[in-house]
Structure 1
Amino acid sequence: MAPMTKVARLFTDKSALGDTAIEHFDESLDAKDGEIIVSLDRFGLSSNNITYAALGDWLKYWEFFPTGKNGWGHMPVWGFANVVASGVDGIEVGERFYGYFPIASHFRMQPNRVNERGFHDAIPHRLELTSAYNFYTRCSTDAGYHADKEDYQMLFRPLFITSYMLADFLSDNDYFGAKRLVVSSASSKTAYGTAYCLEGADDIEVIGLTSAKNAAFVKSLGCYDDVITYDELGSLQAGVATTYVDFSGNNDLRLTVHKQFGMDLVYDCFAGTAANAETYDPGEVPGPAPVFFFAPIQIKKRNADWSPKVVTERFSASEQKFYARVSEGDEPWMRLAVHEGMTGAQGVISTLFHTGGNPREGMVVRL
């Protein structure tokens, strides 16, 4: 008879995203044929997770991990889990995987397409959801995995792939004739990851656009050629061909940018995610129509240009250098703030919801 274990799950009130509840129950560690049970070890939390929750019904984030409780959702997070029971050939007890999990101590999965890289969770309700969120990476074969950088991988990898491919896309297209990039929400991880990837490009000026509250932080990063607040947008020199790179999704700001730059605006790029590619409505604006950047399209192009192996090697090398930049030196871009257990997660979620958090802190929860 399989042993029993104490399971804990953290649920989010869909009507008040800062409010959470912990459920405890006993469950058998019996993995049926075709099933594994994993124990979530650690995960990252940031404002992106609050966005997942805020858009949970619209963009189906709540559907990945249904709770069965009306009005309550299971907030998804990126993290690491260990296999504690397996009924699947090719997946052994003790193996460690990285991927998209619910905030729960234990989680049952139905692996499919198992290979040396990892597997897809083929539990029926997930088959119609975005495939990228259903893949779990085997740490032992992941070229970009380093045990001492797990916390940074959880916080950045889901975002840095967009940063890396967006920078490549812009460079690959000669910035659409621009000599200046204006990047909104410059304090966001994906935005400054993109600026990092463009460092050293002498044919383009990268301007970080941010709130007054975050201006000092963004300036301290040193990856933007200049940093201005939203109120200072009018101070930018006219007559310079400009591409707008939008990480804010704020339509009022977009309209202001289009009116401000007029004929100087040559391209408008909304840097979103796979989940909102089909639902984002940029509104009516004068000048170039906003174009949604979808990283998988650029990945597909580079797979053809370079081969998938080279794409993986180049991305992994850049990713590791970025983690070093973020975590090392006298003034690292991010300090890890480690919180313990489900109650620790509750506190972080409340803080992120009510204040947005500190951009210099990386929130990590260890179970």
Structure 2
Amino acid sequence: MPQSVKLTRLLTRKGALDQSRIDSLDFDLTPAPGEVILKPDHFSLTTNNITYAAFGDSMRYWDFYPTGEADWGHMPVWGFADVVASAVEGIEVGARYYGYYPIASYARIQAGVTPRGFRALDEHRAELPTPYNQYPLCSADPYYSPEHEDLQALLKPLYLTSAMLADFLIDNQFFGAKRLVFSSASSKTAYCTLFCLEEHDIECIGLTSRGNIPFVEQLGCYTSALAYQDLEQLDASVPTVYVDFSSDLALRDRVHAHFADKLTYSCVAGSAQNTEEAEYKAASGPEPKMFFAPIQMRKRNVDWGSGGVSRYVGEGMVKFFQRVEASGNQLVEVVHNEGYAAAAEIISGLVHGRLSPQQGQIVRLRD
């Protein structure tokens, strides 16, 4: 007999990411054949969520959990959920899975069992990137530990992007450059990338707001930190790659103009300061190219064979967790929040840059 409950969810206005609304729908807790129903427990909210939302249509970000409303999207987030009902052999009620969930009290997913978890088989997700359709079973994940759940929710998705971005740059021999210039240098994804590059001898300049310079300097991973206003102080004769985590088009044009023909590559890696749809353009110089981690992962799955990417990311991530823990609050200060209204406030704060780059926001849902 169907068991009806109320589903609470947080929706985000696609054209104005700082606007959210909480709504409630009737929800049947009885799974159809091949379905599992999970209850999201806690998750992270980071600038990465805003980046993907800003690129929402081109990256099909809103397609994971369709709302049926053209102007409102259901923001997927990385976190943990427990199975509350299952019609899939091999997926047990009470099992805990890490993955990409909606900000909602329940998630219904068509599931196919894998050796270490399950993958989403929903028709509308068939063409979406494979990594976002994978749900590792926590008890079968060699890199999982309960005490690291907050850091995993906060940093694993960022670390995945960072590790593959670093590998992409290394794989292309830094496009012949002797220097990397990062915008939004205080962002976690940016300095995760630096962690993955620390064994390579290349100059790394972090561009940031003047107020964030002390934080960027104390990270200890950049050769030097520079305020955006002082960009033109950099020696323009050094071959340079621009790694753009801000998508600030005016800044991008300044970078391109300043380095001119010494800019060997322009990589769009994020959107910390721009919540518009991604634009891959610049007034001069090389055409900016969007970096998308699954493409590099696909290449390395061929190069490294089965499990190679998982080992590369998993082992590096554990080392990064250890670095974060050893730093106290120097790298990440975990901030715990509760409820849908808190999530909405954090999303707005991230959009407007009101939150400290040192903080990592974790949200736990309550009925």
Whether the TM-score (by the shorter chain) exceeds 0.5 is yes
* Two-structure CA RMSD over aligned residues (Å): 2.5
Find the aligned partners of 1:22 and 1:123 in 2 and give their Cα distance.
Answer: 25
- Is 1:84 the counterpart of 2:79 in the alignment? no
The CA deviation at 1:94 is 1.2
Q: What's 1:142 paired with?
A: 141
Q: Could you list the per-position Cα deviations for residues 301-341 of structure 1 after superposition, in whole angstroms to 9, with x for gaps in the alignment?
A: 43344333343223211111112222333443011110112
The CA deviation at 1:107 is 1.4
The CA deviation at 1:106 is 1.0
Find the aligned partners of 1:303 and 1:134 in 2 and give their Cα distance.
Answer: 16
Q: What's 1:255 paired with?
A: 253
Q: What are the within-5 Å matches in structure 2 for residues 133-212 of structure 1?
A: 133-201=132-200, 203-212=201-210
Q: Secondary structure at the match of 1:257?
A: helix
Find the aligned partners of 1:32 and 1:151 in 2 and give their Cα distance.
Answer: 32
The CA deviation at 1:97 is 1.1
Higher relative contact order (CA 8 A, sep 6+): 2
Find the aligned partners of 1:351 and 1:280 in 2 and give their Cα distance.
Answer: 20
Equivalent residues of 2:82, 2:95 under 8 A apart: yes
Equivalent residues of 1:47, 1:356 under 8 A apart: no
Aligned equivalent of 2:268, options 257, 267, 270: 270
- Is 1:48 the counterpart of 2:48 in the alignment? yes
Find the aligned partners of 1:170 and 1:54 in 2 and give their Cα distance.
Answer: 24
Aligned equivalent of 2:242, options 236, 241, 244: 244
The CA deviation at 1:124 is 2.6
Find the aligned partners of 2:311 and 2:325 in 1 and give their Cα distance.
Answer: 21
Equivalent residues of 1:45, 1:348 under 8 A apart: yes
Q: Could you list the per-position Cα deviations for residues 139-179 of structure 1 after superposition, in whole angstroms to 9, with x for gaps in the alignment?
A: 22222222111112212222211211222232233322222
Q: What's 2:63 paired with?
A: 63
- Give structure 2 stretches of 5+ with no counterpart: 272-276
Q: Which amino acid aligns with 2:140?
A: T
Equivalent residues of 1:327, 1:335 under 8 A apart: no
Task: Count residues in correspondence.
Answer: 360
- Give structure 1 stretches of 5+ with no counterpart: 274-278
Structure 1 residues 185 and 40, CA, compared in 2 at 3 Å: closer, same or farther? same
Structure 1 residues 69 and 302, CA, compared in 2 at 3 Å: closer, same or farther? closer
Equivalent residues of 1:272, 1:294 under 8 A apart: no
Percent of aligned positions that are identical:
50
Equivalent residues of 1:185, 1:210 under 8 A apart: yes
TM-score (normalizing by structure 2): 0.88
TM-score (normalizing by structure 1): 0.88
Find the aligned partners of 1:289 and 1:244 in 2 and give their Cα distance.
Answer: 11
Q: What's 1:222 paired with?
A: 220
Find the aligned partners of 2:176 and 2:16 in 1 and give their Cα distance.
Answer: 45
Find the aligned partners of 2:333 and 2:317 in 1 and give their Cα distance.
Answer: 18
Q: Secondary structure at the match of 1:79?
A: strand
Structure 1 residues 21 and 96, CA, compared in 2 at 3 Å: closer, same or farther? same
Q: Which amino acid aligns with 2:120?
A: D
The CA deviation at 1:251 is 3.0
Structure 1 residues 71 and 248, CA, compared in 2 at 3 Å: closer, same or farther? closer
